[in-house]
Amino acid sequence: MDSGKPRALLSVWDKTGIVEFATSLVNLGFELISTGGTARKLKEAGLEVMSVSDVTQHPEIFDGRVKTLHPAIHGPLLARMQKEEDRQGMKDLQYTPISLVACNLYPFVAAASADPPLDKDALLEMIDIGGPTMVRASAKNHANVIICCNPMDYDSIIADLQKSEGNPSGLPISRRQELALTAYQHTASYDVAIANTLHARWNGIPEAFDSIEEQSSRFHNTLLASSIKMETLRYGENGHQSAALFVDDDAYGGRSTLVTAHVEGGKAMSYNNYSDADATLRLCRSLSTDEWPETPHACVIVKHNNPCGVALAANQVDAYRNALASDPESAFGSIICFNEIVTLDTAQAMAELFIEVLIAPGYTKEAKDFIMQKGNRRLLTIESPNDRLAPLERKRILKQIEGGWIVQTEEPPIIDWASAKTVTERAVTKEEIDSMKFAVRVCEQVKSNAIVMVQGLATVGIGPGQTSRVEAVRIAARRAGERAKGSVLASDAFFPFADGLEQAAEAGASAIVQPGGSIRDQEVIDAANRLGIAMLFTGHRLFRH
């Protein structure tokens, strides 16, 4: 029986604010329909609610798998009440229009990241069917149905309805379109999460030990991604460009990321800040492993997406000072990341340096109080297990190009050092091997063409992003100065000519690690032998474009 009141259908998993929303709708003259747990919650609050089964004259079946999938629900959701034929059809079928739907979906993303993981059947049960169908139908017919997927919109919808004295038709079409777009974004994001999760479960994620063919075969046939805008940034790389920060749907799945980091102090983060911070955090995570147990403290200093100083040390202050010494001039206005909680001693050591952003898994109270005395300091906290940055995880990298995307996997270089080949007459010493392992890890994060010179476990000169490899050597050597003498040099790709190696020898490098693979390798090896340099071939190129 049509009561003449506007009808609202409420069926939500996230019940935040639903009782208050429903109460306000009733006060505005709405009649409520609901399902399952939502109906129980509303009835417990003393509200009069009609069950969906009362409307459909059909019980919920299969443990609630089928509730709202019925013409008596979807007819009113899709009826075009501006058309005489649809109005007559509703009357003939004795259907009552539904003017408002509040629906959000089973929390598939949270279920997919559960620890321990849900088994296959339990995960499949978290795929909502009726909910997305109602949401999409309501959004399609937004001229007649107000759709709400986000509890954050409840108050504004009530305010809009109050302005129209409870008449749903009084809601402007622009507002209805806004809510419909939100609804489609909600269901699209939901489907992306399902497709990506099931692909990973059923096909596996590319692993580092897979062959290139095996890795490629595990990529999706369709590239799917979903992110939610967190905030509008001040501007892009330059003032004439607009920019925004988006967060991945799964970024809150039990791990702290750059996007979800706690930001405090100074101005809001900019596009460039986030871009540089990503490069800094990525390298610091790469060094935050058990590979160097006697020197667990990592410090990374980055400027314009390239490291200008990197060090590992037995204590945090030494790690900072050694990293800074690599290129103190470039460190002005840089981004710095530590892999351990920042102490007061470290904060005091940094007192005279202007830093754009400081990143760490935490700060002692004394260190934070000291740092925040300068109002232009921005602190990012990447909450981490055991107060230490988690190592760099294997991930998928997307890069947009004209007309599409290119996709690759990324992880720290996995080099079998036992199989790396000494190609010169002079053998590489154990100390040089230790430095090479560190240098290669840093070199992998430097823009190509890249040259890194190290002493021990600290960079002394970095030549980034050059079109000529020999020029990258010159830059690294110039920055290293006297510290180039006796240094270990890492190159991200082979030396195409002997001139790069000769330039390194002239600067004072004593050992070189490079992938090898040039048609002129022997020419380069002969030059190394003539100059008394030890050289190791890893077979692993480390380009970063």
Catalytic residues: 140, 304
Kindly list the strands in the beta sheet with 297-303, ordered across the sheet, starting from the edge strand earlier in the chain. Answer: 262-264, 378-381, 355-360, 334-338, 297-303, 306-313, 458-463, 451-455, 488-491, 511-514, 534-537, 421-422
Distances (CA, A) of 320 to 295, 312, 313, 325, 329: 13, 9, 9, 9, 15
Structure tokens at 461: 């000169």
Q: Is 333 helix (H, G, I), strand (E, B) or coil?
A: coil
Residues in the chain: 545
**What span, in angstroms and rounded, lies between the C-alpha atoms of 245 and 224?**
18
**What span, in angstroms and rounded, lies between the C-alpha atoms of 177 and 193?**
24
**What span, in angstroms and rounded, lies between the C-alpha atoms of 17 and 143?**
25
**What span, in angstroms and rounded, lies between the C-alpha atoms of 267 and 543?**
34
Of 390, 181, 203, 370, the closest CA to residue 285 belongs to 390
Q: Is the preceding omega at residue 386 within 30 degrees of 0, hence cis?
A: no
DSSP, res 447 = P
Which residues neighbour 532 within 8 Å (Cβ) at sequence distance 6 or greater?
426, 505
- What is the sign of the dihedral through the CA atoms of 247, 248, 252 and 254? negative
Of 197, 224, 52, 194, the closest CA to residue 132 belongs to 194
Are the CB atoms for 500 and 470 separated by under 8 Å? yes
**What span, in angstroms and rounded, lies between the C-alpha atoms of 366 and 320?**
18
Of 43, 26, 39, 36, the closest CA to residue 59 belongs to 36
**What span, in angstroms and rounded, lies between the C-alpha atoms of 107 and 127?**
8
Of 232, 207, 230, 231, the closest CA to residue 218 belongs to 207
Q: Is the preceding omega at residue 116 within 30 degrees of 0, hence cis?
A: yes
**What span, in angstroms and rounded, lies between the C-alpha atoms of 124 and 463?**
51
**What span, in angstroms and rounded, lies between the C-alpha atoms of 155 and 443?**
53
Backbone angles phi, psi at 12, to 5 degrees: -130, 145
Of 487, 497, 540, the closest CA to residue 516 belongs to 540
Cβ neighbour number for residue 36 with a 10 Å cutoff: 14
- The single residue listed with the structure tokens 């986030």 is 274
Pairing outcome for strands 262-264 and 378-381: antiparallel
